[in-house]
Amino acid sequence: MADAVGSIDTPDAQDEAPENRKKSRKGGKRAKKGPLKRLALFYRQIIAELRKVVWPTRNQLTSYTTVVIFFVAIMIAVVTVIDYGLSHAAKYVFG
């Protein structure tokens, strides 16, 4: 079965011709911009992304904070009980 023209295995004749081949620049699009322009673009993109964020209301923030503090307090209590139990078990076993 013969390969079709332009398949991945066999490139077209025009792809091999040097006059049709563009010289690739080192660094791509970033090479033409200086470091300060790239930094400014980075900060503009950060601000654009932050504008897309849906910020919670004060009530939502209060309830989320309360839930997190409550969960952390419960986890502290669980770890404390486990630690207390394991320390007493170690004292019992090792004297």
Query: Does the structure show a pLDDT above 80 at 91?
Result: yes
User: Distances from the Cα of 52 to the Cαs of 41, 44, 45, in angstroms?
Assistant: 17, 13, 11
Region of 6 (left: φ > 0; alpha: ψ -120 to 50; beta: rest) is left
pLDDT the model gives residue 1 = 54
12-60: pLDDT as tens digits: 555 555 555 555 556 555 557 788 999 999 999 999 999 999 999 999 9
C-alpha of 94 from chain center: 47
pLDDT the model gives residue 33 = 79
Give the residue, 73 or 5, on which the prediction is more confident.
73
80-89: pLDDT as tens digits: 999 999 999 9
CB atoms inside a 10 Å sphere around CB 89? 10
